[in-house]
Structure 1
Amino acid sequence: MKIKIINPNITQRMTREVEEAARKYASPGTEVYAVSPPTGPDSVESLYDEVLAVPGVISEIIKGDREENADAFIIACFGDPGLEAAREVTDKPVIGIAQAAIEAARLMAPNFSVLYVLDKSQKIIENVLKLHNAENECCSIRSIGLGVLESEDKEKLLKALTEKGRICMEQDGAECILLGCAGYVQFAEKMKDELGILVLDGVVPAVKFCEAMVEIGAKIPKRKLCDFPDKKEILGFDNLTKF
C-alpha cells in the first residue's frame, strides 16, 4: 500500500523528519512518502496560518488520489488543518495526526496533556480538541514557548518538552503526553524513557491507523456528509477542482 503524508507547511526539513519517522514504523510492504504543498506558510502556528495552509493540503490530497495512486493520506499538523474538507474530495482514508494521537491515547491513557509551540497556538489546540470531542479527556494544554522554526537546537527543544511534560504529570495528573507539533516526532521515544509515561507524537499512530483502514478496505462513504463537492466556478484554484 502507499501512504501519502502532507506536511501543511513548506519547511522541507520538517517534511523529511516526518517521513523518516513514518518509514521507521511502517509495516513491510507499506510505501510512505511525505510532501510539502507548493503553497502555504513556512510554519502553522496561528489560525491565520491554518487558513493559508488548507488549499495546499487539499491540492495534495487530490493529486495523490488522482495522479499518484495513494491508498491513504495523513495530514501532519496537530491542528488537522483541512481534515474534514479533505474527506470530501477523496474516498480514501484521511487521518490527521491530532486525531490519531487522541484516539491512541483513548485506548491506552485517556487522561492526557498536549504540549504545543507558542502561546498564540492555543486556539488551534482548543479547536482540534473540540473537533474530536476530547476536551473532557485533556488534563491540560501547555506551550513550551519555542516556535516551529526555532527547533534547530534539538537538545534545547527536548529539554523544554521534557520539563513541560513533567509539569503535566506532577501538577495536572496527565498519564500521557501528546506532542502537538509534527516537528516533535523525533522526541517521543526519548521523552517516554525520561518521564516513564506514554508519549505520542501523532505521526506513528496515524501510519498504523491508515494501514489498518486500507487493509480492511475502508472507504469514506459518498452519500451525504462527505459527498464530493458540487461542481461550480472557483476562481484562482484550478488545482482544487479536479476531484
Structure 2
Amino acid sequence: MNNTIYVINPNSLAHVTRGLQESLAPLQRDHGPVIECLTLHDGPAGIQNEQDVAESAVLVGRLVGDLALERGDGAAAFVIACFSDPGLHLARERTVRPVLGINECGLLTALALGRRVGVIAILPTLMGRHARGYAAAGIASRIAGEYPLDLTVAQLQDADVTRERMQAVGRRLVQDDGADVLVLGCAGMSHYRAWLEASLGVPVVDPTLAAVAMALGRVAG
C-alpha cells in the first residue's frame, strides 16, 4: 500500500524541515498518506547559488533512489522542497513513483489563481536560474516580476525582519508590477504565507503546500 509522501528539504537546516512539517499539518488526514518531512543532513546550509543546487541535486537523487528501494510500495510520492527543484529529473529516473518539485507546482498553482504572477525570492543569486525556467516553461509573459528579500535561508528565522521585507517586496509586486497572485520563492518562507496573504489581500501560494496537495491528488485512491 502506498502510504507515505516524503517531503525532502535538500539543505541541512533542521529548523526548515520542522517548519515544513508544521505548515503541512493541515493536509494530514487520519486515513490518508502520511506526510513525512526529511532533512538532507549532508546537503548545503541553504540552496542559495548554483553550486548549492549542483551539490544537493546528486544527494537528492541518491536519497530518492534509496528510499524507493528500501520502502518499496510504502513510498507514495516524493516532493523536493526547494524552489530551485534540485535533482528533480535525476530523482525521476530513480523511482516509478511521482516526484514533484515545488517550483513547478507552485507556479502551476499560481497560474490557476491569477493572471500575473509575482515571485518573492530570498537572494538575487538564483533569480537568473528562475528566469531561465520561466522561459523554458513558456510562462515568462505571465511573470509580473521577481524581487529578492536579500536574506539567507537561515535569516528567514528572524520574523520581524522577514515580515518587513516580505511585505515591502510583495507590495511592490502588486502595486508597481500588477501581480494579482504571489509565490513564495523558498520553502523556508512557508509559515509566512497566511500572514502575507492577509496583509496584502491577494492570493499567496506556498509552493511546498501546492506540491504536496498535488501529490495527494495523484496518489488518492
Structure 1 residue identity aligned to 2:13: T
Q: Which residue of 1 aligns with 2:7?
A: 5
Q: How does 1:187-206 map to 2 (within 5 A)?
A: 187-206=192-211
| C-alpha distance 36-128 of structure 1, shift in aligned 2 (>3 A) | farther
Q: Which residue of 2 aligns with 1:227?
A: none
Structure 2 residue 85 is the aligned partner of structure 1 residue 48: no
- More helix per residue: 2
Tell me the CA shift for residue 35 of structure 1: 1.0
Residue among 149, 152, 155 paired with 2:154 = 149
Aligned residues: 216
Residues 35-44 or 6-15, more deviating: 35-44
Residue among 62, 81, 86 paired with 2:86 = 81
Q: Which residue of 2 aligns with 1:219?
A: none
What are the ranges of 5 or more consecutive residues in structure 2 without an aligned counterpart? none
Q: Which residue of 1 aligns with 2:67?
A: 64
CA shift digits 1:173-219 (9 cap, x unpaired): 00011000000000110111010000011011111100111126xxx
Distance in 1 of aligned mates of 2:115 and 2:68: 34
| C-alpha distance 132-39 of structure 1, shift in aligned 2 (>3 A) | farther
* 1:72 match: secondary structure: strand
Q: Which has the larger radius of gyration?
A: 1
Q: Tell me the percent identity.
A: 26
Contact 2:33 2:76 in 1 (8 A): no
What are the ranges of 5 or more consecutive residues in structure 1 without an aligned counterpart? 217-243
Distance in 2 of aligned mates of 1:27 and 1:107: 25
Contact 1:26 1:208 in 2 (8 A): no
Residue among 163, 167, 189 paired with 1:162 = 167
Q: How does 1:112-191 map to 2 (within 5 A)?
A: 112-191=117-196
Contact 2:62 2:91 in 1 (8 A): no
Tell me the CA shift for residue 131 of structure 1: 4.5
Structure 1 residue identity aligned to 2:23: A
Residues 34-43 or 206-215, more deviating: 34-43
TM-score computed with the length of structure 2 as normaliser: 0.93
RMSD: 1.4
Distance in 2 of aligned mates of 1:209 and 1:42: 27
